[in-house]
């Protein structure tokens, strides 16, 4: 008791380099991460006056817009009363049908055949890559030759038509084709 000041117990560890105790080592996880945050006792509700003072309770003014053209409706009603039929709708429907028919061009058979030949070549290449080329080679080559023959026939017809057109255009019936 004589050596210790105030009669306290002696420290368990002695730090000879400094007379101060070292700071405790930082824990692996901080205490804020491990413990859930504490909620304050005061509620976080805004008073009604503050809410009403903001723009939360203001509504946009209703602005009506015309959904249909009133002049067209008047004309349509006059046509119905005068003739008993809705003439405008019939014309519009016929115009729509005509435009749909005009939009769809007639597919060119020659182009279709070219695409089909290309598809068959790609299929044969895929089968050869998979090791099944011998199995499909004779079938695919036969189909390709049939398509090529059909393409030759179409080509001959087109060339004859072009010759006829060209001979009609030149005076005297002569053409520059031998």
Q: What is the pLDDT of residues 122-139, one digit of tens each?
A: 999 999 999 998 999 999
Q: Which of 1-10, 42-51, 63-72, 160-169 shows the lowest mean pLDDT across its residues?
A: 1-10
Q: What is the dihedral of CA 50, 51, 53, 56, to 10 degrees?
A: 160
Label residue 140 by pLDDT band (50, 70, 90). very high
150: in domain: yes
Label residue 55 by pLDDT band (50, 70, 90). confident
The pLDDT > 90 percentage for the chain reads 27
**Structural domains counted in the chain:** 1
CA distance 14 to 21: 9
80: in domain: no
Phi, psi (rounded to 5 degrees) for 88: -65, -45
For residue 39, what are the contacts with CB-CB under 8 A and spacing of at least 6?
none
- Mean pLDDT taken over the chain: 76
Long-range contacts of residues 170-174, Cβ cutoff 8 Å, at least 24 apart: none
151: in domain: yes
pLDDT at residue 32, rounded to an integer: 47
Residue 45 has pLDDT above 90, yes or no: no
| 3-state SS assignment for residue 120 | helix
CA distances from 66 to 76, 77, 92, 105, 121 (A): 17, 18, 22, 39, 59
Domain hosting 119: range is: 109-166
Label residue 92 by pLDDT band (50, 70, 90). low
130: in domain: yes
Q: Which of 3-7, 31-35, 150-154 shows the lowest mean pLDDT across its residues?
A: 31-35
44: in domain: no
12: in domain: no
29: in domain: no
- Mean pLDDT of all residues in 26-32: 50
142: in domain: yes
């Amino acid at each position: 008791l004589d050596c210790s000041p105030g009669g306290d117990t002696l420290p368990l560890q002695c730090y000879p380099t400094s007379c101060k105790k070292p700071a405790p080592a930082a824990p692996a996880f901080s205490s804020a991460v491990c413990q859930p945050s504490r909620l304050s006792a005061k509620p976080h509700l805004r008073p009604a006056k503050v809410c009403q003072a903001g723009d939360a309770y203001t509504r946009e003014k209703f602005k009506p817009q015309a959904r249909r053209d009133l002049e067209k409706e008047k004309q349509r009603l006059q046509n119905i009363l005068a003739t008993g039929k809705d003439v405008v709708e019939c014309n519009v429907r016929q115009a729509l049908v005509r435009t749909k028919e005009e939009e769809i061009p007639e597919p060119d058979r020659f182009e279709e055949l070219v695409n089909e030949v290309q598809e068959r070549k790609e299929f044969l290449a895929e089968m050869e890559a998979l090791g099944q080329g011998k199995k499909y080679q004779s079938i695919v080559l036969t189909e390709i030759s049939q398509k090529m023959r059909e393409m030759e026939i179409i080509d001959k017809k087109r060339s004859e038509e072009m010759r006829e057109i060209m001979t009609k255009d030149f005076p005297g019936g002569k053409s520059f084709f031998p």
